[in-house]
Amino acid sequence: MPRSSKKKQKKAEDFKKVKLKVGKKKAPAANATDTSFTARAIVVGVQSISADKSAQLTNSHNHTLKELLAQMRHYSAPTRKDSVVGLGDFAALHPAALRAELGAVISATVRLVVDSEPGVRRQLLRLYGTVLPTLEPR
């Protein structure tokens, strides 16, 4: 008998009405969900699309040599391939600028010789076949 009376008391505590105090706010329900949120702004420095590149040397797709060399380290194979194509385009438009930055170009493209994607390697061979013969030996 005593056991059942304890269980009844515990059940009664669960359904007991909470008395409101004067001047106090109503307590939130035990199953209430907090729906408040905060928003933050994303600040993007300078986007490549909106930057004015009229004073810089660019290829036909408006990419500078620095951007093309950075894209050669991209994780996506099509992006790496496009950067090699863009570098060939840049070399055709500005051969003197390519000769001036030849060390950086060679160090960036050497990594792509052993690239896992055959399309990137094929495009790199085309680039070397067109650019390297145009360079005069020192």
Whether the pLDDT of residue 100 is over 60: the answer is yes
Tokens encoding 10: 């515990």
Q: According to the model, what pLDDT value does residue 110 have?
A: 92
**Per-residue pLDDT tens for 39-96?**
998 877 766 666 666 677 888 788 888 888 998 999 999 999 999 998 988 888 888 8
Whether the pLDDT of residue 99 is over 80: the answer is yes
Whether the pLDDT of residue 3 is over 60: the answer is yes
Q: According to the model, what pLDDT value does residue 98 have?
A: 83
- CA dist 41 → 15, 34, 44, 47 (Å): 45, 22, 10, 16
pTM: 0.60
**Per-residue pLDDT tens for 17-29?**
777 788 888 878 8
